[in-house]
């Protein structure tokens, strides 16, 4: 048991007095921590862990958003380029190209070389002009077919991509233009190749 003495001023001294002072100091420190909300208990550790988890989740969400936006841009660029190519091929199928010009000239040259001067007029017209026109129609039909296929691929591409990622409106518009031009060019090419449209003149 500690000793306790009383000095002349009436103050207590000794072991028990020192113990009382330490108790008061500890109580004051605990009260200060409680008032400021600081501490190193389990509640504070759990709160810090929750904050760390939220920060990591936010960082992961930002990275995923960047990845998705990058993938969307790449896919949009490719689909847009394909749509433009489809429309351009559709225009070429209707207006002609150097390929069709060379093919027509070649058929004309072959017809002149293989047709004798004694052949009938109908034969000469067919070999010199008819085959050349058919070659032009054939090349135009090939361009139209490619334009049609490319346009359809662009339009159906979102169905095989990431769900919930819409296709840009301008890509759809250009792709539909390519498909439409391809259909028109293909119909005209078939009609000309089969002499339904602009057939050979009668020589009788």
Upper half-sphere CA count for residue 163 (Cβ side, 13 Å) = 0
Residue 166: the pLDDT is: 81
- Structure tokens, 56: 């990591």
Does pLDDT of 133 surpass 80? Answer: yes
pLDDT in tens, 94-129: 998 999 999 999 998 988 888 877 778 778 888 888
- In this prediction, residue 163 has a pLDDT band, given cuts at 50, 70 and 90, of low
Mean pLDDT score across all residues of the chain: 76
| Helix or strand run (H / E) with residue 14 | strand 12-14
Residue 116: the pLDDT is: 76
Q: Report yes or no: 126 and 115 within 8 Å, Cβ to Cβ.
A: no
- Please state, in angstroms and rounded to a whole number, the distance separating the CA atoms of residues 204 and 201: 9
- Please state, in angstroms and rounded to a whole number, the distance separating the CA atoms of residues 85 and 174: 9
- Structure tokens, 1: 């048991």
Does pLDDT of 187 surpass 90? Answer: yes
Helices (H) and strands (E) in the chain, counts: 6, 2
- In this prediction, residue 142 has a pLDDT band, given cuts at 50, 70 and 90, of very high
Q: Is 105 helix (H, G, I), strand (E, B) or coil?
A: helix
Residue 28: the pLDDT is: 55
Residue 175: the pLDDT is: 94
Residue 152: the pLDDT is: 95
The total number of residues shown for the chain amounts to 204
Residue 92: the pLDDT is: 94
Residues 6+ apart with CB under 8 A from 203: 120, 121, 122, 125
What's the average model confidence in pLDDT over 65-79? 59
Cα 192 to its chain centre, rounded Å, is 39
CA-based max dimension of the chain: 155
Lowest mean pLDDT among 19-23, 156-160, 192-196: 19-23
Residues 6+ apart with CB under 8 A from 185: 90, 93, 94, 140, 141, 143, 144, 147
- Please state, in angstroms and rounded to a whole number, the distance separating the CA atoms of residues 28 and 35: 11
- In this prediction, residue 200 has a pLDDT band, given cuts at 50, 70 and 90, of confident
Residues 6+ apart with CB under 8 A from 88: 147, 178
Q: What is the pTM of this model?
A: 0.61
């Amino acid at each position: 048991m500690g000793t306790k003495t009383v000095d002349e001023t009436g103050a207590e001294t000794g072991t028990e007095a020192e113990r009382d002072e330490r108790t008061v100091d500890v109580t004051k420190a605990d009260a200060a921590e409680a008032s400021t909300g600081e501490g190193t208990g389990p509640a504070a550790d759990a709160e810090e862990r929750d904050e760390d988890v939220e920060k990591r989740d936010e960082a992961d969400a930002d990275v995923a958003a960047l990845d998705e936006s990058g993938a969307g841009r790449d896919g949009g660029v490719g689909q847009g380029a394909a749509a433009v190519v489809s429309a351009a091929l559709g225009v070429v199928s209707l207006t002609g190209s150097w390929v069709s010009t060379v093919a027509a000239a070649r058929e004309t040259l072959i017809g002149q070389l293989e047709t004798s001067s004694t052949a009938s007029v109908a034969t000469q017209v067919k070999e010199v002009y008819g085959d050349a026109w058919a070659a032009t129609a054939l090349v135009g039909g090939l361009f139209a077919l490619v334009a049609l296929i490319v346009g359809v691929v662009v339009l159906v591409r979102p169905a095989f991509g990431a769900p919930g990622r819409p296709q840009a409106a301008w890509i759809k518009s250009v792709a539909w233009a390519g498909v439409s031009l391809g259909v028109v060019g293909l119909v005209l090419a078939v009609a000309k190749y089969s002499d339904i449209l602009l057939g050979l003149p009668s020589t009788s």
